[in-house]
Structure formats: structure tokens, C-alpha cells
Structure 1
Amino acid sequence: MSEWVEQIVAGRPAWRHTPSNLTFREVPGGTYRMGLSEAEVAAVRAIERSGGAEDTLEPFFAGAVDAQPVREVRVEPFLIARHPLTVAQVQHWLPEYEDEYADRSSQTARLEDDLDDLLDALPFRLPSEAEWEYAARAGTTTLTFRGDDKPGADQLLDDFGDEQRTAAVENAFGLAALGSAGEVCADVWIPGFAGAPADARPRTGDGTRTVRGGAADVYPWQGCDEWLLLLAATRYEHTQFAAVRPVASVPERA
């Protein structure tokens, strides 16, 4: 019997991994422009000029080089979890896992000391940065998949116990909450994309991994422009806890 079953979830095709009951979406292959574009930088400056920033955004603009240069990347089809793993889902592989950041088992799991244990136990892999950003953009070229307006806290989702709420925040690929939690990627942290592969492979080497997203990790927001963590191109070095959104190969259809 196959470990994978095709089904419809929230009106969209999905794959269910039967041993773990995880729901994955199939992301189509394609090419896209990865990184923080000058148009996106201009959109952030427009938000700042309109009074939408709580503080100076000069640190963001100075750090823009960490997500540049923009380059075209080719991505093969893949499966990616509909949302980051919840506490209950992590406990499928790590039964003794406890999460000090979560009040309910349906909330996003934020792993620290248990992270490597989970990655060893998972029958899946981490997404490369290129796959993660491709999934987050879902065919768009704007700050978030919703456009170039300043994203608000209404875009956050950290608890997946309410199916209606989860479905309401999905992007065009049927993925929820990309940008909410700080999701660890397979790539080692390297500032900027100079020399990065054009085929979505993760960059490997010694050192800490790269994290994408994280706006819900610092909620309630304190007015320090935490909305920047929701941007599709925002990236930074893994330093503490992290969420996991696993990736798998597309199963063969009968």
C-alpha cells in the first residue's frame, strides 16, 4: 500500500502522508526571480514614506544585500507541507516532545534542542531556500503574495486547529502561514546569493542554517517593524528556536 493518498483539502488537491497524516501540497515546477528586487526595496521605501514604519528602516535597507543579487532559479516540482509542523505532529516522531512556546497541540512547534532529533527522525527533508521562497511567492513578484502593501498581523497564523481560518490564509499554491514562523531551511547561512546555484539546490557547508519568516515568533508586535519578517525575500541566520515545514518528492501516480 502506498504511503501517499491524493485527496481534496479546502477545495484544492493535496497529498496525505498516511503514516503521519500530514497534508502536503504539490508545488508545480517553474522558474522565478529569487531575492529582494529593487522594485520590492522601492515598495518598502514607499511604506516608510507613507508613515507605515514604526522606526527607521535603514537597517533593513543596509541588510538588503543579504537577499541579493536577484537571479533566475529553476525549481522542479515538489511536495511541501501545507503549514509548519504543529506540536502534535512533531510528537508523532518525538513522543516525549514538549513545547514551552505553545499552549495547544495544534500550534506551530518551535524546536531548539530537539531540532536535530526531529530532522533525523523525519522521512522527509527540509526545503532549500529557493524552494521555500518559490512556495511563498506562489507566482507573485511582490513583497508578499498579497501584494506590495504593508502586511499586518491579520496575515499571521500560528494555530492550525481551525480549518476555516487555515484555508482563509492560503496562497495560490494552497500553503498557509509562510512567513509567520521562522522556518529553517536546508541551506547553510551565507550572506547574499553571489554564486548560488540556479537549480534550487541548497547551499551546503559548515555553520548554522538559514531561516525564513518569523513574524509570529515576536507577536504581540512591539512596534519594531516586525512585519518585515513576513516578506517573501526576508532571510537570516538561525540562532535559536525554529519551525519545520518538511518537503518530499512528488509520488508516482498509479
Structure 2
Amino acid sequence: MSVVMWAEEIVAGRAAWRHVASGVVFREVPGGTFQMGLSEAELAAVRAIERAGGAEDSIEPFFASAGNAQPVREVRMEPFLIARHPLTVAQVRHWLPEYEDDYADTDSGTARIEDDLDDLLEALPFQLPSEAQWEYAARAGTTTLTFRGDGKPGEDQLLDDFGDEQRTAAAENAFGLAAMGSANEICADVWIPGFAGAWADARPRTGDGPRTVRGGAADLYPWQGCDEWLLLLAATRYEHYQFTAVRPVATVPPCT
């Protein structure tokens, strides 16, 4: 007798797939194309925030490193499943029962994994998202700095604990995903500055060295006025070090 891995549900008014064994809720992201990378329009939007007095510190390092998320290119996407939010401490313990977290205050908080990362990735029946999948999911059909527009994102956009279902639902983007950009989330791609020669589809870039991470604005909370909001931008990317969160992806289950 085959084991049922997925159950279709409605979560916060949207269709979802729940991984039966672990309880992790996934959303199905539709296929399509999008412009991946930090566009000139987005750079202009950041400059507008700066001119309006919204930058607490010098953001010239951000502009100096803009090439790490360029050139912008069109990427083709196939449908995929991605977790509604990063794995929580309780969810990680499904695969690593002895897991202890030095950063989360509750079991419903985002798990930030350090020494256990390799063990978790080996135990998971899922994959890490490619950078293309992560950014496509974060943008959710938008072309702005965040899915909420080109305005300066604030601390109210952070979500790091998922014990309050009402708050989690209110934070979702158009794809039904919460907390994109809050925690730094590791991707399958190896860190390569810039997108020159990158794939035109969702395949991760592989090789030796550290992986790429996306997001991380909640990792620096409470904010100290060092423009931590830039980590909420859909296109912000950097090299993995220290701890990381995990938001797995999976193949869309076949129709039954």
C-alpha cells in the first residue's frame, strides 16, 4: 500500500498542500516568466527613498554592490511547491528530534540552523529553492522593491514567529507566502557575484564554495538604523555564512 505524502487543504482561504508526515504547509507557485535581478527602476526607487530622508546611514555600499544582482534577465519558471514560511523549530525537530535553537524564543519561531545544516539537508525529502525560484516566489508577480511596492519597507513587514495564524495570513503575498525576506534563507545556488551567463530557467548554479542566501532583515532585529530594510528587497542576495533559515521546495504532486 502506497504512503500518502500530501494532503490538499485550504489554509487562510487559499489552496495549499500539506506534507502529511511533518505538517509543513506548501503553496503551489504557478509557472511563468519574470525579470530576475535588481532593475534600474528598483535602484531609482531606493534613490527616491534616500532623497526623501528614508536612509539612516550611507547606502552607497548597496549601490556599489548592485552588480551582484545584475544583469536583469528573463527567467522561465515551471510550477513548483514552496513552503508557506521558513521551517520552524518544531518542524525541524520532525527530522532532527534533538535539535536545539539558540535564536528562537518559541517552537513556532523560524529555525536558524548552524551546525545541523548538513544533517537537516540530508534528512529533508525536499530540495532547497534555486535563487530563481526564491526571487520569483518573493516577487509574486510584482516588479517592485518588495511585493508591497516601491515604498521603504519597515519593521512591520517582519515576521519571525508563526504561532499567530491571523498575523501569518495577513503577511502573505499574492502567492500565499509569508515572511519572504525576514530571515536569511539559503538557496541551492553556489555564491557567484552577478548573473552574467546565468541560466534562463530555474536551475541553480552549482560549484564549490558557500551557497547564496536571500533575505535576513529580521536577523538584525531590533534594527539599529543601519538600513536593515534593504534586506527585505526581493533582489538582495549575498554569500552564506553562520546561521541560516530553510524554506524548502518540492515538485507539484500529480493529480489524483
Q: TM-score range by the shorter chain?
A: over 0.9
Match of 2:147 in 1: 145
Match of 2:213 in 1: 211
Amino acid paired to 1:132:
W
Aligned with residue 165 of structure 1, among 164, 167, 177? 167
The whole-number CA distance in structure 2 between the counterparts of 1:95 and 1:104 is 16
Match of 1:224 in 2: 226
Match of 2:108 in 1: 106
The whole-number CA distance in structure 2 between the counterparts of 1:24 and 1:179 is 17
Amino acid paired to 1:81:
A
Match of 2:98 in 1: 96
SS of alignment partner, residue 33 of structure 1: strand
Cα deviation 1:135-169 (Å, max 9, x = unaligned):
00000000000000000000000000000000000
Amino acid paired to 1:215:
A
Amino acid paired to 1:15:
W
* Structure 1 residue 211, shift from structure 2 partner: 0.2
The whole-number CA distance in structure 1 between the counterparts of 2:24 and 2:184 is 20
The whole-number CA distance in structure 2 between the counterparts of 1:102 and 1:16 is 23
* Structure 1 residue 2, shift from structure 2 partner: 2.2
Cα deviation 1:27-73 (Å, max 9, x = unaligned):
00000000000000000000000000001110000000000000000
User: Which 4+ runs in 1 deviate beyond 2 A?
Assistant: none
SS of alignment partner, residue 71 of structure 2: coil
* Structure 1 residue 103, shift from structure 2 partner: 1.1
Match of 2:18 in 1: 16
The whole-number CA distance in structure 2 between the counterparts of 1:152 and 1:63 is 22
* Structure 1 residue 253, shift from structure 2 partner: 1.1
SS of alignment partner, residue 119 of structure 1: helix
> How is 1:174-253 mapped onto 2 (pairs within 5 angstroms)?
174-253=176-255
Identity of aligned residues (%): 82
The whole-number CA distance in structure 2 between the counterparts of 1:21 and 1:223 is 37
Q: In the comparison of the two structures, how many residue pairs are matched?
A: 254
Cα deviation 1:171-215 (Å, max 9, x = unaligned):
000000000000000000000000000011000000000000000
Amino acid paired to 2:155:
A
Match of 1:126 in 2: 128
SS of alignment partner, residue 79 of structure 1: strand
The whole-number CA distance in structure 2 between the counterparts of 1:230 and 1:103 is 22
- Give the TM-score of the pair, scaled to structure 1: 1.00
Aligned with residue 47 of structure 2, among 16, 36, 45? 45
Superposition RMSD on alpha carbons, in Å?
A: 0.4
The whole-number CA distance in structure 2 between the counterparts of 1:105 and 1:56 is 37
Amino acid paired to 2:178:
A
Cα deviation 1:64-120 (Å, max 9, x = unaligned):
000000000001000000000000000000000000101100000000010010000
The whole-number CA distance in structure 2 between the counterparts of 1:147 and 1:207 is 34
